[in-house]
DNA sequence: AACCAGTGCAACCGCGTAGGC
DNA sequence: AGCCTACGCGGTTGCACTGGT
């Protein structure tokens, strides 16, 4: 039973009346941050009292975890993070905290909000349920390949403009394994990454999607028609463009990196940040949404 | 300038669960 | 074993901001 439960009300109604709600003030933030800096986290209810905050422990915890924590990463969700969210959500569903473990600095709340405001919005606009197989396939066979392509084209364009100055980025894992991602060869350099390896990751050899120089629209529309009996499921839908994302994250992901704080593409952000804002972000690009709608219409027309 | 609808995000709520007594 | 407390998670709400009319 938490502080909203019966026992709380029985204990002290006056305390409940005094509790403050709503947006946090700078002063409250200061108090909470200062107190945690001195005494550490935990025991949120007593922490709230000791810090002189008229807030529930729950509220303090949320404020700290989602906003005040020094390692909270703010700003737009990057392309790489989008890709990872899509992949992990397809695997785990609405397990936001679990997904958040693999996006360092991002909170479950932020990821959840991203999903609801961007992804679900698109599902709605595409007139299909976000949990439907149709929508999942749209993500898997269209959005995710597009993301991969844009991530790589962003890296490639940067490479072309900066010469060979930036051809790799560093990745550190919770185990302090140090890995390097080679943008020229699209693979990881190093012993092991845990969640990925050279064979798993997208390379020019194993993915025509990732390096396709042809416009997506052309590719998709030239793709063989899906088998009407199979209701838009399976790699046969878009064989030339199919990329198996199950390889992106190893099946042993959970086991090998249960408490992983993998700094996924920690520095790729810097590499592509200058151009990523204008690249494809779910919910932000009319062009790509239009493309998805066209594709959906195409599929509908050919399926039935 | 005023209004309104849409959007994004911080914060809250309800519930399940683990652990202590 | 049963109760209580604290915590964490996923779902939901409220509100500030923004862009369109």
Distance A33 CA to B18 C1' (A): 27
The residues of A between 38 and 67 with beta carbon within 7 Å of nucleic strand C are 42-46, 57-58, 61
Evaluate whether residue A130 is within a structural domain: yes
The token pair at A158 is 């940067």
Is residue A269 pLDDT above 80, yes or no?
no
The residues of A between 87 and 126 with beta carbon within 7 Å of nucleic strand C are 94-98, 108-109, 112-113, 116
Is residue A165 pLDDT above 70, yes or no?
no
Evaluate whether residue A270 is within a structural domain: no
Q: Do A87 and A54 have their domain in common?
A: no
Q: Do A89 and A130 have their domain in common?
A: yes
Is residue A209 pLDDT above 60, yes or no?
no
CATH of the domain at A125: 1.10.10.60
Per-residue confidence (pLDDT) for residue A140, from 0 to 100: 80
Report the pLDDT averaged over residues A168-189: 36
Distance A268 CA to C6 C1' (A): 39
Alpha-carbon gap, residue A170 to A244, rounded angstroms: 25
Per-residue confidence (pLDDT) for residue A237, from 0 to 100: 32
Best CA proximity match to A45, nearest among A8, A81, A82, A84: A8
Is residue A30 pLDDT above 80, yes or no?
yes
Q: Do A63 and A107 have their domain in common?
A: no
Evaluate whether residue A86 is within a structural domain: yes
Distance A145 CA to C12 C1' (A): 32
Alpha-carbon gap, residue A209 to A144, rounded angstroms: 10
Evaluate whether residue A203 is within a structural domain: no
Q: Do A85 and A128 have their domain in common?
A: yes
Overall pTM > 0.85 = no
Per-residue confidence (pLDDT) for residue A110, from 0 to 100: 85
Per-residue confidence (pLDDT) for residue A149, from 0 to 100: 84
Per-residue confidence (pLDDT) for residue A285, from 0 to 100: 44
Per-residue confidence (pLDDT) for residue A98, from 0 to 100: 83
Which residue range(s) make up the domain with A106? Answer: 79-154
Confidence of residue A189 (pLDDT cuts 50, 70, 90): very low
Confidence of residue A215 (pLDDT cuts 50, 70, 90): very low
Confidence of residue A286 (pLDDT cuts 50, 70, 90): very low
Q: How many domains does chain A have?
A: 2
Per-residue confidence (pLDDT) for residue A162, from 0 to 100: 58
Alpha-carbon gap, residue A59 to A107, rounded angstroms: 15
């Amino acid at each position: 039973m938490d502080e909203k439960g019966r026992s709380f009300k029985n204990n002290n109604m006056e305390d409940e009346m005094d509790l403050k709600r709503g947006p946090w003030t700078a002063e409250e933030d200061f108090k909470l941050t200062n107190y945690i800096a001195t005494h550490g986290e935990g025991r949120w209810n007593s922490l709230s009292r000791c810090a002189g905050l008229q807030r529930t422990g729950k509220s303090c915890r949320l404020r700290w975890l989602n906003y005040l924590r020094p390692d909270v990463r703010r700003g737009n969700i990057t392309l790489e993070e989008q890709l990872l969210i899509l992949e992990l959500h397809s695997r785990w569903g609405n397990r936001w905290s679990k997904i958040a473990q693999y996006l360092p600095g991002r909170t479950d709340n932020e990821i959840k909000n991203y999903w609801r405001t961007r992804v679900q919005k698109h599902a709605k606009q595409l007139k299909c349920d976000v949990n439907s197989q149709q929508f999942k396939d749209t993500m898997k066979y269209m959005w995710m390949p597009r993301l991969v392509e844009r991530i790589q084209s962003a890296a490639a364009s940067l490479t072309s403009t900066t010469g060979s100055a930036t051809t790799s980025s560093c990745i550190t894992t919770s185990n302090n394994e140090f890995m390097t991602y080679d943008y020229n060869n699209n693979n990881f350099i190093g012993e092991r990454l845990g969640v990925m390896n050279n064979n798993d990751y997208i390379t020019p050899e194993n993915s025509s999607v990732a390096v396709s120089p042809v416009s997506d629209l052309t590719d998709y529309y030239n793709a063989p028609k899906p088998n009407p009996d199979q209701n838009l499921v399976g790699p046969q839908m878009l064989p030339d463009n199919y990329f198996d994302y199950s390889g992106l994250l190893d099946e042993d992901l959970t086991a090998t990196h249960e408490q992983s704080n993998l700094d996924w593409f920690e520095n790729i952000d810097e590499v592509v940040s200058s151009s990523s804002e204008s690249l494809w972000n779910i919910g932000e690009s009319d062009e790509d949404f239009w493309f998805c709608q066209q594709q959906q219409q195409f599929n509908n027309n050919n399926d039935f």
